[in-house]
Amino acid sequence: MSASVRHTIAWILQLVLGLFFIFAGFNKLRDLSSTVAMFGTLGLPSVLAYIVGGGELLGGIALLVPRLTRFAAMGLLIIMLGAVFMHATKIPGGLAGGIPALVCLILLGALIWLRQPITSATT
């Protein structure tokens, strides 16, 4: 894959994922009482609702900043691993209801791979 194609795909992923996480984090923080209640029903501490909502909002913004993209994607990947795990084990509907989280997990992994430094092979 050429560097320009790789760069274009990475920017598209950054934009789509960035907007998705900004929206998701904002919604969690906007309706914080419901988010805290939902986390509580899953047996999670209420402070985690603040951390996840804030992490998604700030991570979504950071995905759009070139120097922060890989760092943000790694942090959001951890959040999505937790979301996929919770869907698979505790949330009614199982993993089928967690398809968006699974898709985000895969796309974040692809973004991390696309944004790794390219080293030129010399012979």
Are 28 and 53 spatial neighbours (Cβ–Cβ below 8 Å)? yes
CB burial of 59-97 (b: ≥16 within 10 Å; e: otherwise) equals bbebbbeeeebbebbebbbebbeebbebbeeebeeeeee
User: In which residue are the tokens 């898709």 written?
Assistant: 103
Residue 95: per-residue pLDDT: 81
- Render each residue's pLDDT in the chain as its tens digit; 123 residues: 788 899 999 999 999 999 999 999 999 999 999 999 999 999 999 999 999 999 999 999 999 999 999 999 999 999 999 999 999 998 887 788 889 999 999 999 999 999 988 776 655
DSSP state of 116: S
Residue 122: per-residue pLDDT: 53
Residue 121: per-residue pLDDT: 60
Residue 74: per-residue pLDDT: 97
Residue 120: per-residue pLDDT: 66
